[in-house]
Structure 1
Amino acid sequence: MAIEEGAVPAEAPAVDAHAHVFTRAMPFAAEAHSRPDYDYGVEAWLADLDRHGISHGVIAAASLFDDGNAYTLSALASHPGRLRATVIVPPETDATTLAEMADAGVVGVRLAWRRVEDLPDIAREPYRGFLRRIADRGLHVELLSRSASLPRLLPALDASGVRIVVDHFGVPSRDPEERGAGTDALCRAIDGGRTWVKLSAGFRMPFAIAAEVAARLLAHAGPERLLWGSDAPFVNHEGDIRFADTLDLYRRLVPHPAVRAAIDRAALLLFFNQESE
């Protein structure tokens, strides 16, 4: 049963590691696949976190918008202790700019390639240097890409030396063979020691698939390499999903409080460089 909206659940997550914040004043990217006609500003998200007892949050850069990360950076400036964020920047971005963003609370650079058919060769320039600069600044790559592409992308990213955070269970395919190959690639990357996977946006896939991938990752790597995120405000699913539903789904996928607490510890250490209390 879903948690009643407004009720603070027991054992709330410490970190929502994946949410998007935006306003209608922000320009859409030319290739935006959706165009929300409402605001979900940082204060609205923080109100959702407060309502559900969640202390920290990580903004995931939204590929829908083309505001040069201005709104995200302003949110970080307003809530420096509570929030971190990823950004979307071109591969030519220089080390000074990345360092300034890191100082502002940016923890990673998002590669939103889920809908990209012709993926770049990240072992060549400009990506080779870009990944080196990201790693040198202590940032991670936040990868959003389909499971079919993970066997190619993850070894190349790992070879670059950068830390990797994979969104949305690795966007598992409905095809069992393709999904299995993608999950295998996630497990191999985790074994390399620099990769984490978000159990986020589970509502965007059949529950059986989310449960399958979550169980495989937990069995292979344990909770120390997993993170949880709400994917608020649930773009294209706003009428079907409430924030409380994402918590209910998380508890169904990871039913043991001690395991969820270990996921909290991983998120606090990775994003906030702090131990949980």
Structure 2
Amino acid sequence: MATEGQAPAVDAHAHVFTRAMPFAADAHSRPDYDYGVDAWLADLDRHGIAHGVIAAASLFNDGNAYTLAALAAHPRRLRGTVIVPPETDVATLRQMADLGVVGVRLTWRRIDELPDLDSDPWRAFLRRIADSGLHVELLSRSASLPHLLPALDKAGVRIVIDHFGVPSRDNAERHVGTDALCRALDTGRVWVKLSAGFRMSFDIAAEVTDRLLAHVGPNRLLWGSDAPFVNHEGSTRFGDTIDLYRRLVPDPAIRAAIDRTALALFFNEESPA
């Protein structure tokens, strides 16, 4: 169980899936269990979390049907992101937005050659994402951020960055990535998730959290559990992720401000007093 303290208002990053869903050919993991939307909602209820945002899982490539069904079943409580090919038209993106989709996830953490965002199809695709009122949800290594973030900003899209910007264990590389995060945050169109901290050392997660809070404060930060902790299921429980968050951000007032950020960004709401 999580320690005492007010629960986060929004879990801004979790994956839902069943064993019936087809894996992508290049899936880096193949979970042999279900973590359906009802299981996630039960975890949210158990820990007093009112809202959630589904992060499209790269394990299933552009298989979005389960996410869209979950959003349709829980329109007040849930939002989500999708993975779609860059040829996706604006009408399709807007239809997804009407169902509760808030962003398009770009999962580039494990690719060696990044796409040229200044050329089509990516240039036109990013414009359509922006025109549809969606953001880009970016999962990429810290070393790539100095290249990717200015290119995405040039395209005029809002950006939500996953997992602290995936900070490198290499000090120099990590600092370069965090510098790029801070420059991007200065644009006012970027947010960073304090999510999946269990996938890195506490010292690295704390270093990046402290740097981001010192640079921009809580108004551009979000928290996410990364449930169901793929590849870490045996060592991480839902309550552990909340405990880690409270260690990284011990001030309840700052966490309340992060709640307000998430509610405004994803649900157009203010947090309760």
User: Which residue pairs with 2:132 in the alignment?
Assistant: 137
User: Which residue pairs with 1:47 in the alignment?
Assistant: 42
Instruction: Kindly tell me the number of residue pairs found equivalent between the two proteins.
Output: 272
Q: Which of 19, 25, 38 does residue 20 from structure 2 map onto? A: 25
Q: Is the 8 A contact 1:112 1:144 kept in 2?
A: yes
State percent identity of aligned pairs: 79
- 2:239 matches 1:244: yes
TM-score by length of 1: 0.97
User: How big is the shift at 1:66?
Assistant: 4.2
User: Which residue pairs with 1:3 in the alignment?
Assistant: 2
Q: Which of 143, 146, 150 does residue 148 from structure 1 map onto? A: 143
- Give the Cα–Cα distance (whole angstroms) in 2 for the partners of residues 67 and 133 of structure 1: 17
Query: 1:54-108: CA deviations, max 9, x gaps?
Result: 0000000000014630000000011000000000000000000000000000000
- Give the Cα–Cα distance (whole angstroms) in 1 for the partners of residues 62 and 203 of structure 2: 37
User: Which residue pairs with 1:201 in the alignment?
Assistant: 196
Q: Which of 11, 23, 42 does residue 16 from structure 1 map onto? A: 11
User: How big is the shift at 1:10?
Assistant: 2.8
Query: 1:150-207: CA deviations, max 9, x gaps?
Result: 0000000011110000000000000111000000000000001100000000000000
- 2:59 matches 1:60: no
Query: 1:25-66: CA deviations, max 9, x gaps?
Result: 000000100000000000000000000000000000000014
User: How big is the shift at 1:3?
Assistant: 2.6
User: Which residue pairs with 2:75 in the alignment?
Assistant: 80
Q: Is the 8 A contact 2:61 2:83 kept in 1?
A: no
Q: Is the 8 A contact 1:26 1:66 kept in 2?
A: no
Q: Is the 8 A contact 2:23 2:59 kept in 1?
A: yes
In the alignment, structure 2 segments of 5+ residues that lack a partner are none
User: Which residue pairs with 2:117 in the alignment?
Assistant: 122
User: Which residue pairs with 1:192 in the alignment?
Assistant: 187
TM-score by length of 2: 0.98
For 1:196, give the aligned amino acid: W
In the alignment, structure 1 segments of 5+ residues that lack a partner are none
- 2:171 matches 1:176: yes
